[in-house]
Structure 1
Amino acid sequence: MGGRDPWVCVRLARDRAGGFCVRARPDRAIRGMASMPREIRNLALIGFMGSGKTAVGRMAAAQLAFEFVDTDALIEAAAGMSIPEIFAREGEPGFREWERKIVRTLAERSRTVIATGGGLPTYGDHLEQLKQHSLVVCLWASPEVLYERVRHHDHRPLLRTPDPLARIRELLARREPYYRQADVLIQTEHRPIREVAAQVVHAFRIHQQSVV
């Protein structure tokens, strides 16, 4: 997809069992969400690290007058440790267990924008749990773009490797099938945060109108 291409890729889930991906103008493509039947209270953002979940989520929450939460921040608060400390002391299995506990608490929330950890949708029934109460939007970018966005963030435990780009490609390939189960898939490359956030908010509002 070209750098200035005004089109985005939007996956429109007709129901929880399936959907399809189309390349269409946002204002036209998202209208297909009217066929999504479930009621939702929250907006959940999934995607790889560096996809913009936190920045977009904060802006979307402000536009919707919703609370904003980041699952990694919730984990750190619950564990009393930073994410790198959790990985150092308990390894990835320990971190995923904290993640599982936090996911269980999200169902209690309402009017909240939730930015999730990059691997969260790929474990257990996390994605299904999110879909029970949230419109799930995946923010997408290529491995090369993601690498440029995060390469100076040496606090990312999963990227502490001699070849971070290869690691990103490996993880993204593994996670892509889960990311593509989102209700909406938005391409973020070469797009300002405010534009992506506006598209996310538009998707949420269109869905809300469809279930009124």
Structure 2
Amino acid sequence: MTGAVRGRTDLPPTTLVLPGDDPVAATLLAAAVEVMAAQGYHGTSVREIAAAAGTSPGLLYQYFASKAALLETMLDRGMDVLIAATEEALDAAGDDPAARLRAVVGAHVRVHLDSQRESLLGNSELRSLAGGARSGVVAKRDVQQRTFERVVRDGVRRGAFATEHPREAARAITTACTAVAAWFRPGGELDAEEIVARYQDVALDTVRWSP
């Protein structure tokens, strides 16, 4: 559906919009990120999202069955962005265990810094999904976690990492990396790449890497 009403064009861009999205759907997604990031899912009405998009509530329902369906799309796409970035970084990392861990940590942290509002929504509003919608997003989270666990276990198997608890180490690393979205402020003491580098070092310390 192309829609005669395209809505606002001045909303901040979001990584949740895909190249093939209808312009109206894209605007609604950008508006939902803008409003929900400030007010939360339960504090945001369909009318407020439509108003922020410069459209009508009725038009929103032509693209999304409900506010819950809109949130599901947002969180599902957010996980797709994270998984794709991580897989791409891992593919380019080569065979060295430390380089592989640096790669997945770097990708995870960068996505949470570059998509800060989207990441915060994904972390705080998963509880607002129900049933199969929630299970689908959780399954993708599990895919991301298993990637970290695989990298750490491979490093242990090859003698590069000395941790006796690879699964817990991997969970500690992903949890720490995810948390950057909650506290990062542009213009702070460290820029994004400095934060990435520090978290890569912390991850290697966590798995007890010996150069």
TM-score by length of 1: 0.31
Question: Which structure is higher in RCO with an 8 Å CA cutoff and minimum separation 6?
Answer: 1
Structure of larger gyration radius: 2
Q: From the two aligned structures, give the one with the greater helix fraction.
A: 2
TM-score, scaled to structure 2: 0.31
Task: Say which structure is richer in strand.
Answer: 1
